[in-house]
Amino acid sequence: MIIIEPYGARPVTDQRVEIVERKGVGHPDTLCDSMMEAVSIALSREYRKTFGTILHHNIDKGLLAAGRVEKRFGGGKVTEPMDLIIGDRATWSAGKKRIDVEKIAVAAAQEWLGRNMRFVDPKKHVRYRVVLRQGSEELTDIFSRKGKVLGANDTSAAVGYYPLSPTEQAVLGLERFLNSADFKKIFPETGEDIKVMGLRTGDDLDITVAMPILCKYVNSEKEYFVRKAIIQRIMEGYLDRFTSFKSAAVNFNTLDVIGRDMNGIYLSLLGTSAEDADSGQVGRGNRVNGLISLNRPMGTEAAAGKNPVSHVGKIYNVLAHRIAQRIYKEVGGLREVQVLLLSRIGAPINEPQTASAQVLPVKGKVTGSIVRKAEKIMQRELNGIAKFCGELSRGDYPVC
């Protein structure tokens, strides 16, 4: 059932207070999400290669337990590695063929760490524990049923929206800027564990950033604060491009206290607080559009690591945002679009129990023309879900 109706809420940009968070690539929760998703992508690739199709798996139960380090000005050492627990369900064999799920899972996590964390040695600094078990017979059987489109393996709801507000764009853009290759080349002393919290009150934006400075690049407390001041000015300059705000303030590493030496500054050995201070867990981080936007509706599903061909907790979460974007861009004249998708377990994933789009025109009311165009787009996207799932299985759509 496809339903197009007027947007019933007050637009985010019209609300006096807006709060948006982004956990960067090195945050323990994002690390956990990203590595579980990397495992799902690697398993999907191996399933296609060995069995000709993607088999049942859900790698969406993961925990990254913090390790221990000794830090000092100019360096330090790891005294106890982090622990990554890779859990939930996977298919190890079908017919007479078998794959080494544990080896694939560990290799995928290590490969992701090697590409994204400059100072984490995937083999020395992390221990891996794989606790993947065979799925239930009924859920596994979904993958044996005929048809290009599988049945949903859960009754689940998802929501997506478009466009991003200026606050969302600023928060997302700032973290990506700080973790970009160009920025790290100029400021290699900055770690990847970046948390950006944005508060808009009226037309004023107030951003709080936590980002560690790496021990090896700092020889004294004084040098730390000199580097910190330079980096803060760079962040303030970046925010100048967002002209919709009357003012934009940056608060950087606000726990710092001058005069407390190592105890009063945010230093890191490896670039992530998972080295000794904070653990990570799947589902506690960013939603699939990369943000935690408190003024927006949010689902409860953890998309990372779920299989990309039957688990609507992943498929519908990403698809809802994509459909909202398509409606906004193709219909035209809209201020905001919100899409709700609800599955029923066992029903084909291209036939949701309901698919609803709420649209807000820039001017006037929702016309019959808008309704027809939005319905056509939504049906087209659902009809093309098999192709979409293939793209999802290859990692074409980030989920954190």
| pLDDT at residue 139 is higher than 60 | no
Q: Choose the weakest-confidence range: 9-23, 82-96, 141-155.
A: 141-155
State how far the Cα of 300 lies from the Cα of 154, in Å rounded to an integer.
13
Mean pLDDT of 356-362: 96
State how far the Cα of 144 lies from the Cα of 155, in Å rounded to an integer.
19
- Residue % of the chain over a pLDDT of 70: 97
- Please provide the average confidence, as pLDDT, over all residues in the chain: 94
List, for residues 264-292, the tens digit of each pLDDT value: 999 999 999 999 999 999 999 999 999 99
Structural tokens at position 145: 């049923």
Q: Are 80 and 67 in contact (CB under 8 A)?
A: yes
Mean pLDDT of 152-165: 94
State how far the Cα of 365 lies from the Cα of 360, in Å rounded to an integer.
8
Structural tokens at position 244: 């919709």
State how far the Cα of 321 lies from the Cα of 241, in Å rounded to an integer.
25
Residue for token digits 């007027």? 6
Predicted pLDDT of residue 138? 45
**Cα–Cα distance list, 189 to 74, 179, 195, 266, 399 (Å):** 11, 12, 16, 12, 28
| pLDDT at residue 176 is higher than 60 | yes
Predicted pLDDT of residue 250? 97
Give the amino acid at 158: A
pTM score of the predicted model: 0.94
State how far the Cα of 104 lies from the Cα of 329, in Å rounded to an integer.
40
Q: Which helix (H) or strand (E) holds 18?
A: strand 17-23
Confidence of residue 141 (pLDDT cuts 50, 70, 90): low
**CA-CA-CA-CA dihedral for 106, 60, 91, 307, to nearest 10:** -110
Residues contacting 251, CB < 8 A, separation 6+: 206, 207, 208, 209
| pLDDT at residue 29 is higher than 80 | yes
| pLDDT at residue 355 is higher than 90 | yes
The DSSP result for 149-195, as a single string, is SPBPSS--EEEEEESPPHHHHHHHHHHHHHTSHHHHHH-TTB-S--E
Confidence of residue 136 (pLDDT cuts 50, 70, 90): low
Domains of the chain: 19-24+166-281 (3.30.300.340)
Q: Are 109 and 151 in contact (CB under 8 A)?
A: no
